[in-house]
Structure 1
Amino acid sequence: MKKTVVLTSTLIGSLLAGHAASAASYTVQKGDTLWKIARQSGTTVAALKQENGLSSDLIFPGQVLQVNEQAESEEISSRTYTVQPGDTLSGIARQFGTTVDALLKLNPSIADPDFIRAGQKLQVAGGQERSNTYNVEPAAVPTNGRYIVQAGDTLLGIANKFQTTVDRLLALNPQITNPNTIRIGQAIKVAGGTADVWEAKQQVSAANSAAAESSASLADQIIDIAEKYLGARYLYGASPSRTDVFDCSSFTMRVFGEAGISLPRTSIAQAQAGRTVSFGQLQKGDLVFFDTDSNGTINHVGIYAGNGQMINATVSLGVAYSSLTSSYWKTRYVKAVRVLN
Protein backbone atom coordinates (compact mmCIF):
# COMPACT_ATOMS: atom_id res chain seq x y z
CA MET A 1 0.00 0.00 0.00
CA LYS A 2 1.35 3.44 -0.93
CA LYS A 3 2.71 5.39 2.03
CA THR A 4 2.84 9.17 1.83
CA VAL A 5 6.28 10.47 2.84
CA VAL A 6 6.03 13.46 5.18
CA LEU A 7 9.12 15.53 4.53
CA THR A 8 8.58 18.12 7.27
CA SER A 9 6.59 18.32 10.49
CA THR A 10 3.82 20.10 8.58
CA LEU A 11 2.10 18.28 5.71
CA ILE A 12 0.30 20.96 3.73
CA GLY A 13 -0.52 19.02 0.59
CA SER A 14 -3.37 16.57 0.09
CA LEU A 15 -4.48 14.08 -2.56
CA LEU A 16 -6.44 15.79 -5.29
CA ALA A 17 -9.18 14.06 -7.29
CA GLY A 18 -7.90 12.83 -10.65
CA HIS A 19 -4.23 13.34 -9.75
CA ALA A 20 -1.71 10.52 -9.31
CA ALA A 21 0.64 12.30 -6.92
CA SER A 22 0.71 13.18 -3.22
CA ALA A 23 1.69 16.79 -2.46
CA ALA A 24 3.85 17.82 0.52
CA SER A 25 6.07 20.68 1.55
CA TYR A 26 9.74 20.38 2.40
CA THR A 27 11.90 22.96 4.18
CA VAL A 28 15.40 23.06 2.71
CA GLN A 29 18.13 22.10 5.19
CA LYS A 30 21.80 23.08 5.17
CA GLY A 31 23.66 20.91 2.67
CA ASP A 32 20.54 19.99 0.67
CA THR A 33 20.55 19.88 -3.12
CA LEU A 34 17.62 19.50 -5.51
CA TRP A 35 19.00 16.10 -6.54
CA LYS A 36 19.07 14.92 -2.91
CA ILE A 37 15.53 16.16 -2.20
CA ALA A 38 14.22 14.62 -5.44
CA ARG A 39 15.74 11.24 -4.62
CA GLN A 40 14.41 11.25 -1.05
CA SER A 41 10.90 12.15 -2.16
CA GLY A 42 10.64 9.84 -5.15
CA THR A 43 10.52 12.52 -7.84
CA THR A 44 12.93 14.25 -10.25
CA VAL A 45 14.91 17.49 -10.27
CA ALA A 46 13.01 18.61 -13.36
CA ALA A 47 9.67 18.00 -11.62
CA LEU A 48 10.78 19.92 -8.50
CA LYS A 49 11.90 22.90 -10.59
CA GLN A 50 8.64 22.94 -12.52
CA GLU A 51 6.50 22.58 -9.39
CA ASN A 52 8.29 25.45 -7.65
CA GLY A 53 8.94 27.73 -10.63
CA LEU A 54 12.71 27.44 -10.25
CA SER A 55 14.89 28.58 -13.15
CA SER A 56 18.12 27.15 -11.71
CA ASP A 57 19.32 24.46 -9.26
CA LEU A 58 20.05 27.11 -6.60
CA ILE A 59 18.20 26.61 -3.30
CA PHE A 60 18.85 27.95 0.21
CA PRO A 61 18.27 26.76 3.81
CA GLY A 62 14.81 27.66 5.07
CA GLN A 63 13.27 27.72 1.60
CA VAL A 64 9.94 25.84 1.42
CA LEU A 65 9.49 23.62 -1.64
CA GLN A 66 6.35 21.91 -2.87
CA VAL A 67 7.01 18.24 -3.55
CA ASN A 68 4.81 15.93 -5.61
CA GLU A 69 5.66 12.28 -5.00
CA GLN A 70 4.89 10.11 -8.00
CA ALA A 71 2.29 7.37 -7.50
CA GLU A 72 3.57 3.80 -7.36
CA SER A 73 1.36 2.80 -10.28
CA GLU A 74 2.76 5.50 -12.55
CA GLU A 75 4.71 4.10 -15.46
CA ILE A 76 7.33 6.11 -17.30
CA SER A 77 8.11 5.10 -20.86
CA SER A 78 11.57 5.18 -22.36
CA ARG A 79 12.78 8.74 -22.78
CA THR A 80 15.76 10.25 -24.52
CA TYR A 81 17.66 13.43 -23.82
CA THR A 82 19.73 15.35 -26.36
CA VAL A 83 23.06 16.51 -24.91
CA GLN A 84 23.43 20.29 -24.90
CA PRO A 85 26.71 22.30 -25.08
CA GLY A 86 28.28 22.36 -21.62
CA ASP A 87 26.41 19.28 -20.38
CA THR A 88 28.15 16.64 -18.27
CA LEU A 89 26.92 13.15 -17.48
CA SER A 90 26.71 13.97 -13.78
CA GLY A 91 24.70 17.11 -14.52
CA ILE A 92 22.26 15.15 -16.68
CA ALA A 93 21.98 12.52 -13.93
CA ARG A 94 21.09 15.21 -11.37
CA GLN A 95 18.57 16.75 -13.77
CA PHE A 96 16.68 13.47 -14.11
CA GLY A 97 17.10 12.35 -10.49
CA THR A 98 19.35 9.38 -11.30
CA THR A 99 23.07 8.48 -11.18
CA VAL A 100 25.95 8.38 -13.65
CA ASP A 101 26.17 4.62 -13.18
CA ALA A 102 22.49 4.18 -14.07
CA LEU A 103 22.93 6.31 -17.21
CA LEU A 104 25.96 4.25 -18.24
CA LYS A 105 23.90 1.05 -17.93
CA LEU A 106 21.14 2.57 -20.06
CA ASN A 107 23.67 3.85 -22.61
CA PRO A 108 26.35 1.17 -23.18
CA SER A 109 27.64 3.14 -26.19
CA ILE A 110 29.28 5.62 -23.77
CA ALA A 111 32.87 4.40 -23.55
CA ASP A 112 34.14 7.21 -21.29
CA PRO A 113 31.80 8.82 -18.72
CA ASP A 114 33.92 11.99 -18.80
CA PHE A 115 33.29 12.60 -22.50
CA ILE A 116 29.89 13.17 -24.12
CA ARG A 117 29.20 15.36 -27.14
CA ALA A 118 26.57 18.00 -27.90
CA GLY A 119 23.76 16.52 -29.97
CA GLN A 120 24.28 13.00 -28.61
CA LYS A 121 21.01 11.29 -27.65
CA LEU A 122 20.97 9.53 -24.28
CA GLN A 123 18.36 7.23 -22.79
CA VAL A 124 17.41 8.66 -19.40
CA ALA A 125 14.62 6.25 -18.38
CA GLY A 126 14.16 2.64 -19.34
CA GLY A 127 11.16 0.36 -19.66
CA GLN A 128 8.79 0.45 -16.70
CA GLU A 129 11.37 1.87 -14.34
CA ARG A 130 10.79 5.21 -12.71
CA SER A 131 13.34 7.82 -13.73
CA ASN A 132 15.07 7.68 -10.35
CA THR A 133 15.25 3.92 -9.84
CA TYR A 134 17.52 1.39 -11.47
CA ASN A 135 17.97 -2.35 -11.90
CA VAL A 136 20.00 -3.70 -9.01
CA GLU A 137 22.60 -6.34 -9.69
CA PRO A 138 22.98 -8.89 -6.84
CA ALA A 139 26.21 -8.46 -4.92
CA ALA A 140 28.13 -11.17 -3.10
CA VAL A 141 27.99 -11.11 0.69
CA PRO A 142 31.48 -10.63 2.18
CA THR A 143 32.87 -13.13 4.68
CA ASN A 144 31.75 -10.99 7.60
CA GLY A 145 28.08 -11.50 6.65
CA ARG A 146 27.45 -8.04 5.29
CA TYR A 147 25.77 -6.81 2.11
CA ILE A 148 27.23 -3.88 0.14
CA VAL A 149 24.52 -1.40 -0.89
CA GLN A 150 24.13 -1.04 -4.67
CA ALA A 151 22.73 1.87 -6.72
CA GLY A 152 18.94 1.87 -6.40
CA ASP A 153 18.82 -0.29 -3.26
CA THR A 154 16.30 0.36 -0.49
CA LEU A 155 16.27 -1.21 2.96
CA LEU A 156 12.98 -2.93 2.11
CA GLY A 157 14.46 -4.32 -1.10
CA ILE A 158 17.49 -5.66 0.77
CA ALA A 159 15.21 -7.22 3.40
CA ASN A 160 13.23 -8.97 0.66
CA LYS A 161 16.42 -10.14 -1.04
CA PHE A 162 17.60 -11.87 2.15
CA GLN A 163 14.19 -13.09 3.31
CA THR A 164 14.12 -10.94 6.43
CA THR A 165 12.40 -7.72 7.58
CA VAL A 166 13.32 -4.04 7.76
CA ASP A 167 12.91 -4.14 11.57
CA ARG A 168 15.39 -7.04 11.76
CA LEU A 169 17.91 -5.14 9.62
CA LEU A 170 17.53 -2.05 11.79
CA ALA A 171 18.12 -4.14 14.91
CA LEU A 172 21.28 -5.59 13.34
CA ASN A 173 22.49 -2.19 12.16
CA PRO A 174 21.93 0.42 14.91
CA GLN A 175 24.09 2.87 12.94
CA ILE A 176 21.17 3.28 10.50
CA THR A 177 19.17 6.12 12.06
CA ASN A 178 16.90 6.71 9.07
CA PRO A 179 15.58 3.59 7.26
CA ASN A 180 14.90 5.72 4.18
CA THR A 181 18.52 6.80 3.85
CA ILE A 182 21.24 4.31 2.93
CA ARG A 183 24.17 5.03 0.62
CA ILE A 184 25.92 3.21 -2.19
CA GLY A 185 28.88 1.19 -0.88
CA GLN A 186 27.59 1.06 2.70
CA ALA A 187 28.08 -2.29 4.45
CA ILE A 188 24.87 -3.61 6.05
CA LYS A 189 24.73 -6.70 8.26
CA VAL A 190 22.05 -9.09 7.03
CA ALA A 191 20.38 -12.15 8.56
CA GLY A 192 17.66 -14.64 7.69
CA GLY A 193 17.19 -17.22 4.95
CA THR A 194 20.03 -17.41 2.45
CA ALA A 195 22.01 -14.78 4.32
CA ASP A 196 22.43 -17.10 7.31
CA VAL A 197 23.64 -19.91 5.05
CA TRP A 198 26.19 -17.68 3.36
CA GLU A 199 27.35 -16.26 6.67
CA ALA A 200 27.81 -19.73 8.18
CA LYS A 201 29.79 -20.97 5.21
CA GLN A 202 31.99 -17.89 5.01
CA GLN A 203 32.58 -17.16 8.69
CA VAL A 204 36.18 -16.22 9.40
CA SER A 205 38.02 -16.51 12.69
CA ALA A 206 37.16 -14.08 15.49
CA ALA A 207 40.53 -12.36 15.30
CA ASN A 208 40.33 -11.86 11.55
CA SER A 209 36.76 -10.66 11.82
CA ALA A 210 37.73 -8.06 14.41
CA ALA A 211 40.52 -6.81 12.16
CA ALA A 212 38.20 -6.71 9.16
CA GLU A 213 35.60 -4.80 11.20
CA SER A 214 38.17 -2.18 12.18
CA SER A 215 39.40 -1.80 8.60
CA ALA A 216 35.87 -1.67 7.20
CA SER A 217 34.88 0.99 9.74
CA LEU A 218 37.80 3.20 8.74
CA ALA A 219 37.10 2.58 5.04
CA ASP A 220 33.48 3.64 5.54
CA GLN A 221 34.72 6.78 7.25
CA ILE A 222 36.99 7.51 4.27
CA ILE A 223 34.08 7.16 1.83
CA ASP A 224 31.81 9.29 4.05
CA ILE A 225 34.41 12.07 4.03
CA ALA A 226 34.96 11.76 0.27
CA GLU A 227 31.23 11.97 -0.46
CA LYS A 228 31.05 15.33 1.36
CA TYR A 229 32.93 16.84 -1.55
CA LEU A 230 30.96 15.32 -4.45
CA GLY A 231 30.41 18.05 -7.04
CA ALA A 232 33.41 20.18 -6.00
CA ARG A 233 35.16 21.69 -9.03
CA TYR A 234 38.55 20.63 -10.43
CA LEU A 235 41.56 22.95 -10.27
CA TYR A 236 45.03 21.70 -11.20
CA GLY A 237 47.53 22.42 -8.45
CA ALA A 238 44.80 23.26 -5.93
CA SER A 239 46.06 23.97 -2.44
CA PRO A 240 45.44 21.05 -0.03
CA SER A 241 43.92 23.60 2.35
CA ARG A 242 41.08 24.35 -0.08
CA THR A 243 37.85 22.36 0.01
CA ASP A 244 35.94 24.15 -2.76
CA VAL A 245 38.28 22.96 -5.53
CA PHE A 246 40.63 19.97 -5.85
CA ASP A 247 42.99 18.21 -8.17
CA CYS A 248 43.18 14.41 -7.93
CA SER A 249 45.94 14.15 -5.31
CA SER A 250 44.90 17.17 -3.22
CA PHE A 251 41.50 15.47 -2.95
CA THR A 252 42.89 12.14 -1.69
CA MET A 253 45.33 13.97 0.59
CA ARG A 254 42.48 15.98 2.11
CA VAL A 255 40.12 13.02 2.56
CA PHE A 256 42.68 10.75 4.22
CA GLY A 257 44.01 13.67 6.29
CA GLU A 258 40.54 14.22 7.77
CA ALA A 259 40.57 10.54 8.77
CA GLY A 260 43.94 11.01 10.50
CA ILE A 261 46.08 9.44 7.74
CA SER A 262 48.89 11.52 6.24
CA LEU A 263 49.54 11.18 2.49
CA PRO A 264 52.16 12.85 0.26
CA ARG A 265 50.98 15.65 -2.05
CA THR A 266 51.40 14.09 -5.52
CA SER A 267 49.86 11.00 -7.09
CA ILE A 268 53.32 9.59 -7.90
CA ALA A 269 54.39 9.90 -4.25
CA GLN A 270 51.07 8.50 -2.99
CA ALA A 271 51.60 5.45 -5.21
CA GLN A 272 54.61 4.57 -3.04
CA ALA A 273 52.64 4.72 0.22
CA GLY A 274 51.19 1.62 1.85
CA ARG A 275 51.45 -1.78 0.17
CA THR A 276 50.58 -2.75 -3.38
CA VAL A 277 47.47 -4.90 -3.91
CA SER A 278 46.19 -6.55 -7.07
CA PHE A 279 43.09 -5.35 -8.89
CA GLY A 280 41.27 -8.51 -7.82
CA GLN A 281 42.05 -7.78 -4.14
CA LEU A 282 40.72 -4.21 -4.13
CA GLN A 283 38.92 -3.17 -0.97
CA LYS A 284 37.00 -0.03 -0.11
CA GLY A 285 39.44 2.73 0.85
CA ASP A 286 42.31 1.54 -1.38
CA LEU A 287 44.04 4.13 -3.58
CA VAL A 288 43.91 3.39 -7.31
CA PHE A 289 46.37 4.94 -9.79
CA PHE A 290 46.29 5.67 -13.51
CA ASP A 291 48.41 6.87 -16.43
CA THR A 292 45.97 9.04 -18.39
CA ASP A 293 48.65 10.32 -20.80
CA SER A 294 49.84 6.81 -21.71
CA ASN A 295 53.45 7.87 -21.22
CA GLY A 296 54.41 5.42 -18.48
CA THR A 297 54.00 7.95 -15.64
CA ILE A 298 51.30 7.87 -12.96
CA ASN A 299 49.33 11.14 -13.06
CA HIS A 300 45.92 10.36 -11.53
CA VAL A 301 44.65 8.84 -8.28
CA GLY A 302 41.22 7.95 -6.91
CA ILE A 303 39.70 6.25 -3.86
CA TYR A 304 38.14 2.81 -4.41
CA ALA A 305 34.57 2.88 -3.08
CA GLY A 306 33.60 -0.75 -3.69
CA ASN A 307 31.50 -2.39 -6.42
CA GLY A 308 33.89 -1.34 -9.19
CA GLN A 309 33.49 2.38 -8.39
CA MET A 310 35.97 5.04 -7.32
CA ILE A 311 35.57 8.60 -6.07
CA ASN A 312 38.04 10.95 -7.74
CA ALA A 313 38.58 14.54 -8.84
CA THR A 314 38.38 14.68 -12.65
CA VAL A 315 38.99 17.58 -15.01
CA SER A 316 35.53 17.45 -16.60
CA LEU A 317 33.30 16.45 -13.67
CA GLY A 318 35.16 17.61 -10.57
CA VAL A 319 34.72 15.25 -7.60
CA ALA A 320 32.52 12.40 -8.82
CA TYR A 321 32.06 8.65 -8.92
CA SER A 322 33.71 6.83 -11.87
CA SER A 323 33.52 3.21 -12.95
CA LEU A 324 36.81 1.30 -13.02
CA THR A 325 35.28 -1.07 -15.58
CA SER A 326 34.69 1.68 -18.16
CA SER A 327 36.94 1.38 -21.19
CA TYR A 328 38.60 4.71 -20.36
CA TRP A 329 39.72 3.92 -16.82
CA LYS A 330 40.28 0.18 -17.35
CA THR A 331 42.84 0.78 -20.10
CA ARG A 332 44.72 3.42 -18.06
CA TYR A 333 44.85 1.57 -14.73
CA VAL A 334 48.38 1.11 -13.32
CA LYS A 335 48.23 -0.11 -9.71
CA ALA A 336 46.53 0.09 -6.32
CA VAL A 337 47.91 0.53 -2.80
CA ARG A 338 46.37 -0.05 0.61
CA VAL A 339 47.17 2.41 3.39
CA LEU A 340 44.43 1.52 5.88
CA ASN A 341 46.13 -1.54 7.41
Structure 2
Amino acid sequence: MTYIVQTGDTLYKIAQNFNTSINFILSTNPQITNPNLIYPGQIIVIPTGTDKCPLLRQGDRGSAVSRFQTLLLIARFDPGAIDGILGPRTQAALVAFQESQKELERTGVADEETWVALDAECEPRVEITSYTVRPGDSLFIISTRFNVSIQSILMINPEITNPNVISAGQIIRIPAS
Protein backbone atom coordinates (compact mmCIF):
# COMPACT_ATOMS: atom_id res chain seq x y z
CA MET A 1 0.00 0.00 0.00
CA THR A 2 1.10 3.57 -0.40
CA TYR A 3 1.29 6.08 2.42
CA ILE A 4 1.65 9.84 2.39
CA VAL A 5 4.09 11.02 5.05
CA GLN A 6 2.43 13.37 7.54
CA THR A 7 3.93 16.19 9.60
CA GLY A 8 5.72 14.68 12.60
CA ASP A 9 6.13 11.23 11.02
CA THR A 10 9.36 9.30 11.35
CA LEU A 11 10.14 5.93 9.80
CA TYR A 12 10.07 4.49 13.31
CA LYS A 13 6.52 5.79 13.93
CA ILE A 14 5.34 4.63 10.52
CA ALA A 15 6.85 1.15 11.02
CA GLN A 16 5.15 0.90 14.42
CA ASN A 17 1.78 2.02 13.03
CA PHE A 18 1.89 -0.57 10.25
CA ASN A 19 3.46 -3.41 12.28
CA THR A 20 6.55 -3.67 10.08
CA SER A 21 10.22 -2.77 10.38
CA ILE A 22 12.19 0.26 9.29
CA ASN A 23 14.49 -2.02 7.28
CA PHE A 24 11.57 -3.55 5.42
CA ILE A 25 10.20 -0.08 4.58
CA LEU A 26 13.66 0.96 3.37
CA SER A 27 14.00 -2.19 1.26
CA THR A 28 10.79 -1.34 -0.61
CA ASN A 29 11.60 2.38 -0.94
CA PRO A 30 15.03 2.74 -2.58
CA GLN A 31 14.35 6.47 -3.05
CA ILE A 32 14.87 6.94 0.70
CA THR A 33 18.63 7.31 0.91
CA ASN A 34 18.68 8.77 4.43
CA PRO A 35 16.28 7.02 6.85
CA ASN A 36 16.32 10.09 9.10
CA LEU A 37 15.11 12.33 6.30
CA ILE A 38 11.51 11.95 5.18
CA TYR A 39 9.17 14.85 4.56
CA PRO A 40 5.43 15.57 4.69
CA GLY A 41 3.73 14.80 1.40
CA GLN A 42 6.32 12.18 0.40
CA ILE A 43 4.71 8.98 -0.91
CA ILE A 44 6.22 5.74 0.35
CA VAL A 45 5.31 2.09 -0.03
CA ILE A 46 4.33 0.33 3.19
CA PRO A 47 5.01 -3.41 2.99
CA THR A 48 2.20 -4.68 5.23
CA GLY A 49 1.23 -8.28 5.73
CA THR A 50 4.02 -9.65 3.55
CA ASP A 51 6.96 -9.92 5.91
CA LYS A 52 6.15 -11.64 9.18
CA CYS A 53 9.83 -12.33 9.84
CA PRO A 54 11.66 -9.17 8.79
CA LEU A 55 15.40 -8.77 8.55
CA LEU A 56 16.52 -7.34 11.90
CA ARG A 57 19.83 -5.74 12.78
CA GLN A 58 21.25 -4.20 15.93
CA GLY A 59 19.51 -0.87 16.54
CA ASP A 60 16.17 -1.95 15.07
CA ARG A 61 13.07 -1.35 17.15
CA GLY A 62 9.45 -2.38 17.14
CA SER A 63 6.99 -5.19 17.59
CA ALA A 64 8.94 -7.54 15.31
CA VAL A 65 11.95 -7.15 17.62
CA SER A 66 9.77 -7.90 20.66
CA ARG A 67 8.51 -11.05 18.95
CA PHE A 68 12.07 -12.04 18.05
CA GLN A 69 13.24 -11.42 21.63
CA THR A 70 10.42 -13.61 22.92
CA LEU A 71 11.36 -16.42 20.55
CA LEU A 72 15.00 -16.18 21.70
CA LEU A 73 13.84 -16.40 25.31
CA ILE A 74 11.64 -19.42 24.56
CA ALA A 75 14.70 -21.06 22.94
CA ARG A 76 16.63 -20.33 26.18
CA PHE A 77 18.85 -17.58 24.78
CA ASP A 78 18.33 -14.63 27.13
CA PRO A 79 17.89 -11.38 25.15
CA GLY A 80 17.42 -9.29 28.30
CA ALA A 81 14.25 -7.25 28.63
CA ILE A 82 11.54 -7.82 26.01
CA ASP A 83 11.57 -4.15 25.10
CA GLY A 84 11.38 -4.13 21.30
CA ILE A 85 14.95 -2.84 20.96
CA LEU A 86 17.61 -4.96 19.31
CA GLY A 87 20.41 -3.74 21.57
CA PRO A 88 23.71 -5.32 22.63
CA ARG A 89 22.17 -7.97 24.89
CA THR A 90 19.66 -9.12 22.27
CA GLN A 91 22.46 -9.03 19.70
CA ALA A 92 24.60 -11.28 21.90
CA ALA A 93 21.69 -13.74 22.32
CA LEU A 94 21.11 -13.71 18.55
CA VAL A 95 24.78 -14.50 17.83
CA ALA A 96 24.83 -17.23 20.52
CA PHE A 97 21.71 -18.79 18.99
CA GLN A 98 23.20 -18.69 15.49
CA GLU A 99 26.40 -20.29 16.80
CA SER A 100 24.34 -23.09 18.37
CA GLN A 101 22.73 -24.00 15.05
CA LYS A 102 25.10 -25.66 12.60
CA GLU A 103 22.88 -24.81 9.61
CA LEU A 104 22.98 -21.08 10.40
CA GLU A 105 25.71 -18.67 9.44
CA ARG A 106 26.87 -16.44 12.31
CA THR A 107 25.89 -13.05 10.87
CA GLY A 108 24.44 -11.21 13.86
CA VAL A 109 21.45 -10.43 11.64
CA ALA A 110 18.04 -12.00 12.17
CA ASP A 111 17.20 -13.22 8.68
CA GLU A 112 14.36 -15.53 7.72
CA GLU A 113 16.55 -18.62 8.26
CA THR A 114 17.18 -17.51 11.85
CA TRP A 115 13.47 -16.86 12.46
CA VAL A 116 12.59 -20.31 11.08
CA ALA A 117 15.29 -21.95 13.24
CA LEU A 118 13.47 -20.33 16.20
CA ASP A 119 10.26 -22.06 15.02
CA ALA A 120 8.65 -18.87 13.76
CA GLU A 121 5.95 -19.15 11.11
CA CYS A 122 7.14 -16.72 8.44
CA GLU A 123 4.84 -17.39 5.51
CA PRO A 124 1.60 -15.41 5.26
CA ARG A 125 -1.43 -17.67 5.55
CA VAL A 126 -4.84 -17.04 4.09
CA GLU A 127 -6.50 -20.05 5.66
CA ILE A 128 -6.81 -21.60 9.08
CA THR A 129 -3.94 -23.97 9.85
CA SER A 130 -4.04 -27.07 12.03
CA TYR A 131 -1.24 -27.26 14.58
CA THR A 132 -0.25 -30.14 16.83
CA VAL A 133 0.74 -28.88 20.26
CA ARG A 134 4.33 -29.79 21.14
CA PRO A 135 5.67 -30.61 24.60
CA GLY A 136 6.34 -27.35 26.44
CA ASP A 137 3.99 -25.30 24.26
CA SER A 138 1.60 -22.76 25.72
CA LEU A 139 -0.89 -20.56 23.91
CA PHE A 140 1.55 -17.68 24.44
CA ILE A 141 4.37 -19.57 22.73
CA ILE A 142 2.12 -20.69 19.87
CA SER A 143 0.71 -17.18 19.37
CA THR A 144 4.26 -15.79 19.27
CA ARG A 145 5.42 -18.39 16.75
CA PHE A 146 2.49 -17.69 14.43
CA ASN A 147 2.29 -13.95 15.15
CA VAL A 148 -1.40 -14.07 16.06
CA SER A 149 -3.18 -13.14 19.27
CA ILE A 150 -4.10 -15.68 21.94
CA GLN A 151 -7.66 -14.36 21.77
CA SER A 152 -7.88 -15.13 18.04
CA ILE A 153 -6.72 -18.71 18.73
CA LEU A 154 -9.31 -19.10 21.50
CA MET A 155 -12.09 -17.72 19.29
CA ILE A 156 -11.71 -20.51 16.72
CA ASN A 157 -11.00 -23.21 19.31
CA PRO A 158 -14.04 -23.11 21.62
CA GLU A 159 -13.05 -26.53 22.97
CA ILE A 160 -10.22 -24.79 24.85
CA THR A 161 -12.10 -23.84 28.00
CA ASN A 162 -9.02 -22.98 30.04
CA PRO A 163 -6.35 -21.08 28.07
CA ASN A 164 -3.73 -22.24 30.56
CA VAL A 165 -4.37 -25.92 29.83
CA ILE A 166 -3.38 -27.43 26.49
CA SER A 167 -1.73 -30.80 25.97
CA ALA A 168 1.07 -32.10 23.80
CA GLY A 169 -0.49 -33.89 20.85
CA GLN A 170 -3.66 -31.79 20.96
CA ILE A 171 -4.62 -30.39 17.56
CA ILE A 172 -5.71 -26.78 17.52
CA ARG A 173 -6.59 -24.36 14.74
CA ILE A 174 -4.45 -21.28 14.09
CA PRO A 175 -6.24 -18.38 12.40
CA ALA A 176 -4.97 -16.82 9.20
CA SER A 177 -2.71 -13.85 9.71
Interval containing the TM-score (normalised by the shorter chain): 0.3 to 0.5
In terms of fraction of residues, the more helix-rich structure is: 2
The one of the two structures with greater contact order (alpha-carbon pairs below 8 A, sep at least 6) is 2
TM-score normalised by L of structure 2: 0.41
In terms of fraction of residues, the more strand-rich structure is: 1
Which protein shows a greater Rg? 1
